[in-house]
Amino acid sequence: MPLLFSKDLNYNIYRDDITLIDPLNTFTGIEKYKLIFWALRFHGRLLFRDISLEVFRIWQPSENVILIRWNLKGVPRVPWEAKGQFQGTSRYKLDRNGKIYEHKVDNLAFNFPQSLRPAASVLDLVTACPTSPNPTFFWGPTDIYSSSWLMLYRAVWETLDGEECMLAKERLLACS
């Protein structure tokens, strides 16, 4: 994956009936899958001066699933200084022969302009009611993902005691 914008994928690991699912579309078939990755490379080179994909973590939560957490960074070809990035996960489902039959792109998170105020505390992050158990933003080394949202939620809950924290606990309950 890190060479996605400079080199074609090895399609021998995919089935001919591979299905790609992203938040807006679903495509089926190896030829469409190849075309999508060709289009990513083509448009990446055409529209960006610099574009790269960084892999944060690869893990296997079950026997037939592989998850990859990644970050895409780019500097567009515009006459002003600009850059952007977004993160997401790719979930690959494998058949009995170890071939990939489904690739789902999910948990996309765009990094917002720096003019927006970041969360002031861990409590602000937890009370934002994340829509999935997967982390949506990268805060540090890859081993940070060894904790789940539930563990983070419990840790924040246990640090809140006293009457002044009742409002915060009510906000946490609203997220659960």
Tell me the pLDDT tens digit for each residue of 34-61: 999 999 999 999 999 999 999 999 999 9
**Residues of the chain where predicted confidence (pLDDT) is lower than 70:** 110-176
Per-residue tokens: 106: 């999910």
The alpha carbon of 116 is separated from its chain's Cα centroid by a whole number of angstroms, namely: 21
Token pair 């170890």 in the structure block, residue: 98
Q: Provide the residue ranges of all domains of the chain, joining segments of one domain with +.
A: 1-111, 117-176
Q: What is the pLDDT of residue 80?
A: 86
Taking Cα atoms as reference points, which of 85, 36, 25, 99 lies closest to residue 56? 85
User: How far apart (Å, rounded) are the C-alpha atoms in residues 120 and 17?
Assistant: 46
3-state secondary structure of 26: strand
Q: What is the pLDDT of residue 34?
A: 95
Q: What is the pLDDT of residue 160?
A: 54
The alpha carbon of 73 is separated from its chain's Cα centroid by a whole number of angstroms, namely: 13
Is the domain 1-111 a CATH 3.20.20.30 member?
no
Q: What is the pLDDT of residue 108?
A: 79
Q: What is the pLDDT of residue 168?
A: 52
